[in-house]
Amino acid sequence: MVDTTTFWIFAIIYIAVTLLLGYLGYKKTRASEDFMLAGRHIHPWIIGLSYGATFISTSAIVGFGGIAAQYGMGLIWLAMLNIAVGVLLAFAFFGKRTRSLGKKLKAVTFPDLMGKRFKSSFMQYAAAVVILVSMPLYAAAVLIGGSRFVETTLGVDFNLALLAFALITAVYVIAGGLIAVMYTDAMQGIIMLVGMVVLLFLTFSLLGDPATAFTKLSDLSPQIPAALSSKGMFSWTALPTFGSEIWYVLVTTIIMGVGIGVLAQPQLVVRFMTAKDNRALNRAVPIGGLFILLTTGIVYTVGPLTNVYFFEKLGVIAITAANGNVDNIMPLFINSAMPDLFVIIFMLVLLAAAMSTLSAIFHTMGTTAGFDLWSHIKRVRTKASELPLPSLRANKVGTLIMIVLSVGLAFIMPGSIIARATSMFMGLCACAFLPAFVHGLFSKNPSALGAKLSMGLGAVSWFFWTAFVHLKESQALGISKFLFGQDAILGAPWTVVDSLVIALPISIAALAIGWAVDTHRLREETGANGRMGAQE
């Protein structure tokens, strides 16, 4: 147990600085558009740090650190994908187009961008519904990650820690909008970077130089539980056997689900729309890339090495030491292996990781509820020709409602859920949004029909596979069991093939079909008009 007095001194300073930055955001938030898009002139360094801090949460540090401890160094591929796709591809190709298109269309939210690009109210409202149904799951996972560490370290009741996280974050998000969110993100991102670098250094100081530490990890292969080795995992320093059950879980659910899904996450897309110009986005790339490299790379390296530490100290591997709960592995390792002062510092790292991501998620859900849904209801009632910008009050009320829903969900979610809930959210984003989003950004004449089919079938097929086939989720949901008397309607290997692998190709095919139909119809109309003109 750490010195609680020292921790609270650090924590009070941290919270005070956070609230001060939130207050600065509040002072600069004068209108609804400031609340939603931070005035579209955020500094590049703040964009890069905010993007990285939003992307990397307690889900990555606690949840995926525990998954890395269980499944090994294969998660390094996720770090590489995070950098290549989540930063380089996202900023260089998606970011610039998103910024210019958002400014041209005067879009203020991700659903608003989709609706205006495809000139379709359906696209806006469907995107809003997907966000408001799925994003609380991700928010709950982030809340759980931070709260578990506080519970393990300070002995604070989990429910109390969870409420405190949500309350502090809610104060500055509701007061200062996206300006406050991005200012605090930048500060929290710096804390995360420092903490993760120190964690890596201290881990190798415990276990020996990198070559020695990884040799020890490789030598532990005989200790891999039979439940994992029987499904294709034979080493913590290599990928599982190709095509095995563990390989499907690691590659299709975790690496692909998170690595690809990042491109269409609404809370990250909005970051591009806050930039003043493309030059600002270019200058943000090195900051974001370095942030992702250090944070994810270190987490996915330290996670597997916790097995070495626990085996040398306790004679058991990490998952056994954590009583079977992967979400407890990283908190237990930090508390057992690290100096007390670093435990306090790392608690601040987790506070920063949780609050930076939470604030972005809360803000996205709040503006979606306040603008994309409430403004629609208001337009219908007033018979207005277009969606009016909601008042600041409407956005803040929408944010508060979604925070309450997320907290309620966090209380009822099961253990070992952090990484899986994150993968589910990001996988759904990829299947529902990614094909239509790419089409809208890069097509000169985007097909509204193709986008509608893609989003609709992508989301529906993802849900079907999640509820009826992919065993980890279908078993927990119980829908398949209730309707068909079995946890999954298909057998192996389909039960371990992630929903993304099935639903994303369906979403892409639906887009292609709809686009072809729209193109054919346009040609026929053009031809008919030409013939009529010739006859006249």
What's the pLDDT at 253?
75
Question: Which single residue is written with the structure tokens 């897309």?
Answer: 269
Task: Judge if 426 and 479 occupy the same domain.
Answer: no
CB 370 within 8 A of CB 399: yes
3-state secondary structure (DSSP) of residue 42:
strand
Amino acid at position 246, single letter: I
Name which residue leads in pLDDT, 62 or 483: 483
Task: Judge if 116 and 225 occupy the same domain.
Answer: yes
Task: Judge if 178 and 326 occupy the same domain.
Answer: yes
Task: Judge if 406 and 535 occupy the same domain.
Answer: no
For residue 28, tell me if it sits in a domain.
yes
For residue 114, tell me if it sits in a domain.
yes
Q: How many CB atoms sit inside 10 A of residue 162's CB?
A: 22
* Strands of 211-257, DSSP E: none
447: pLDDT strictly greater than 90? yes
End-to-end CA distance of the chain: 89
For the stretch 111-161, pLDDT in tens is 999 999 999 989 999 999 999 988 888 888 878 877 876 776 677 788 888
Task: Judge if 107 and 70 occupy the same domain.
Answer: yes
The tokens for 391 are: 């008042």
Q: In the 3-class helix/strand/coil scheme, how is 351-399 assigned residue by residue?
A: HHHHHHHHHHHHHHHHHHHHHHHHHHHHHHHHCCCCCCCCCHHHHHHHH
For residue 401, tell me if it sits in a domain.
yes
215: pLDDT strictly greater than 90? yes
For residue 127, tell me if it sits in a domain.
yes
Task: Judge if 268 and 384 occupy the same domain.
Answer: yes
Name which residue leads in pLDDT, 372 or 304: 304
Distance CA 150, CA 146 (A): 7
Q: Where are the alpha helices (DSSP H) in 443-535?
A: 448-468, 471-477, 479-484, 499-535
Q: Which residues contact 187 (CB under 8 A, 6 or more apart)?
A: 17, 18, 21, 352
Distance CA 49, CA 291 (A): 7
* Average pLDDT in the chain: 84
Q: Write the burial class of residue 504 (CB in 10 Å: 0-12 exposed, 13-18 middle, 19+ buried).
A: buried
SS3 content of the chain, % helix, strand, coil (to 5): 85, 0, 15
Percent of the chain with pLDDT over 90: 24
* Of 51, 46, 4, 48, residue with least CA distance to 25: 46
Q: Which residues contact 423 (CB under 8 A, 6 or more apart)?
A: 253, 254, 257, 258, 261, 498
Task: Judge if 345 and 493 occupy the same domain.
Answer: no
What's the pLDDT at 435?
95
Number of separate domains in the chain: 2
For the stretch 58-103, pLDDT in tens is 767 877 888 899 998 888 887 788 777 777 778 878 888 898 998 8
For the stretch 320-341, pLDDT in tens is 999 888 878 988 899 889 888 8
CB 127 within 8 A of CB 118: no
Task: Judge if 401 and 464 occupy the same domain.
Answer: no
Question: Which single residue is written with the structure tokens 């626990």?
Answer: 310
- pLDDT interval class at 14 (50, 70, 90): confident
What's the pLDDT at 312?
93
40: pLDDT strictly greater than 80? no
What's the pLDDT at 22?
86
Q: How many CB atoms sit inside 10 A of residue 382's CB?
A: 9
What's the pLDDT at 511?
96
Amino acid at position 363, single letter: H
Task: Judge if 244 and 373 occupy the same domain.
Answer: yes
- pLDDT interval class at 200 (50, 70, 90): very high
Task: Judge if 357 and 504 occupy the same domain.
Answer: no
Q: Which residues contact 331 (CB under 8 A, 6 or more apart)?
A: 62, 148, 149, 152, 153
The CATH number of residue 282's host domain is 1.20.1730.10
For residue 220, tell me if it sits in a domain.
yes
What's the pLDDT at 311?
95
For residue 288, tell me if it sits in a domain.
yes
For the stretch 510-534, pLDDT in tens is 999 999 999 888 787 776 555 555 5
536: pLDDT strictly greater than 70? no
412: pLDDT strictly greater than 60? yes
Residue 498, domain extent: 447-536
The tokens for 205 are: 């100081």
For the stretch 264-319, pLDDT in tens is 888 888 888 888 888 888 888 888 888 888 888 898 899 999 999 999 999 999 99
Q: How many CB atoms sit inside 10 A of residue 93's CB?
A: 14
DSSP 8-state assignment for residue 487: S
For residue 437, tell me if it sits in a domain.
no
Task: Judge if 373 and 493 occupy the same domain.
Answer: no
For residue 435, tell me if it sits in a domain.
no
The tokens for 525 are: 């109309």
Bridge partners of residue 275, in order along the sequence: 42
